[in-house]
Amino acid sequence: MLKSVLVAGLAAGLAVGIAPSAAAATNDLAALVRYSPGATTTSLDRAVQTAMKSTGKSRATVIAQALAEARASAAEARANTVNAKAPTGSVTILSSGGGTRTLGSATAKGDVFISPASTLFIQHGHTGIYYALTAIVEAPGSGQKSRSISASSVTVGTGTVKQHVAVSQTKRDAAGAYAYSNLRGKEYNTNFAFNRDAYGTKMNCSQLVWATYTIKAGIDLDSNGGFGVYPYNIKDSSLTSTYSTLS
C-alpha cells in the first residue's frame, strides 16, 4: 500500500503543469542538496541545466521534479529500513559492515540486491549486482571506488532483498560480466538526483546496476523514469522480482 501511495504521489508531482516560481526553485534546490549528501549546489545546478536542455523544461520544473523523486525515494527507503544501523560515528552505512546479516550467495549470475542504507541520516538504500553466484560488484559509498567483493564478506540490514531480472540468463550473465570488467574502480558519484548516465566517469550504486542492464540488456530498471535512479526504484521495477528477503 505504501509503495502504491509513494509511486502515485511521485507521478502526480511529475505531472504538475504549473511552473514553480523562481523563489520556490531556489528553495527546492537547497532542499535537493540536503537529499544528496556529498553533492554541492554547483554540481546539482549544472546537472539541472543539462536536464533543461535535454527535456525543454524550465529550471524550476526540473528542480521540483527531482526533489519530488528524492523525497519519494527517501520515504520508501525509510519504510523498508528495519534494523540497518550505522556504526557509532559513521557517516555512511556501507554494504560491508553496515548491518547484522551476511548477504550471501545468489541463485543466478546477474541477480541484484537492495539493502537498507543511509548517508548523513538520509535514507536511500544500497544495491549491487552479482557477477558470480558468490560475489558482487558495488559502489560502496562516498570516497570509495566501485569494487568486486565476496558476498560472504558483505553484511547488510534485515529487509535486504535479492532479485532476479526478467531477461534471459545469457543477458544476466552479460550484465554481471560487464559490471566486473568495466565498472570496477570508478570514483563515487554523489549525485543520485541526476545519475541516469550509463557511461559516467563516476558511478553510485544504483547507477552502476542500472547501467549494466541498460547497456547489456537494453532495458530500463528505473521504475518511475525520473531524472535519477535510486536503489528502491530498481526494487520496484516491473522487471525485477524478489526471491529472498533477509530477516
pLDDT at 90: 32
pLDDT at 224: 94
Is the pLDDT at 16 greater than 90? The verdict is no
Q: For the purposes of burial, counting CB atoms within 10 Å of the CB of 62, is it exposed (0-12), middle (13-18) or buried (19 or more)?
A: buried
pLDDT at 117: 81
Q: How many CB atoms lie within 10 A of CB 19?
A: 14
The band of 120, judged by pLDDT with boundaries at 50, 70 and 90, is low
Q: What is the mean pLDDT of the chain?
A: 86
Q: Which residue has the higher pLDDT, 112 or 16?
A: 112
Work out the angle between the directed axes of helices 59-80 and 2-15 (0-180°, nearest 10).
180
pLDDT digits (tens, 9 = 90+) for 47-75: 999 999 999 999 999 999 999 999 999 88
pLDDT at 24: 78
The band of 225, judged by pLDDT with boundaries at 50, 70 and 90, is very high
The band of 99, judged by pLDDT with boundaries at 50, 70 and 90, is confident
Superfamily covering domain 101-245:
endopeptidase domain like (from Nostoc punctiforme) (3.90.1720.10)
pLDDT at 199: 97
Q: Checking phi first, is residue 114 left (phi over 0); if not, alpha (psi -120 to 50) or beta?
A: beta
What distances in angstroms separate CA 195 from CA 80, 139, 207, 229, one per listed residue?
A: 22, 13, 6, 7
pLDDT digits (tens, 9 = 90+) for 138-182: 999 888 999 999 999 999 988 999 999 999 999 999 999 999 999
pLDDT at 20: 56
pLDDT at 121: 59
User: What is the share, in percent, of the chain residues with pLDDT greater than 90?
Assistant: 68
The secondary structure of the chain, three-state, reads: CHHHHHHHHHHHHHHCCCCCCHHHHHHHHHHHHHCCCCCCHHHHHHHHHHHHHHHCCCHHHHHHHHHHHHHHHHHHHHHHCCCCCCCCCCCECCCCCCCCEECCCCCCCCCEEEECCEECCEECCEEEEEEECCEEEECCCCCCCCEEEEHHHCEECCCCEEEEECCCHHHHHHHHHHHHHHCCCCEECCCCCCCCCCCCCEECHHHHHHHHHHHHHCCCCCCCCCCCCCHHHHHCCCCEEEEEECC
pLDDT at 177: 98
Provide the residue ranges of all domains of the chain, joining segments of one domain with +: 2-80, 101-245
pLDDT digits (tens, 9 = 90+) for 179-219: 999 999 999 999 999 999 999 999 999 999 999 999 999 99
pLDDT at 204: 95
All 3 cell numbers of residue 40? 554541492
Q: How many CB atoms lie within 10 A of CB 153?
A: 13
Q: How many CB atoms lie within 10 A of CB 193?
A: 26
pLDDT at 231: 95
* Rg, C-alpha atoms of the chain: 17
Average pLDDT over residues 20-43: 86
- pTM for this model (two decimals): 0.85
Return the C-alpha torsion angle 133, 135, 137, 141, nearest 10.
Answer: 130
Pick the closest to residue 213 from 247, 140, 161, 163 (CA basis).
163
Average pLDDT over residues 112-116: 94
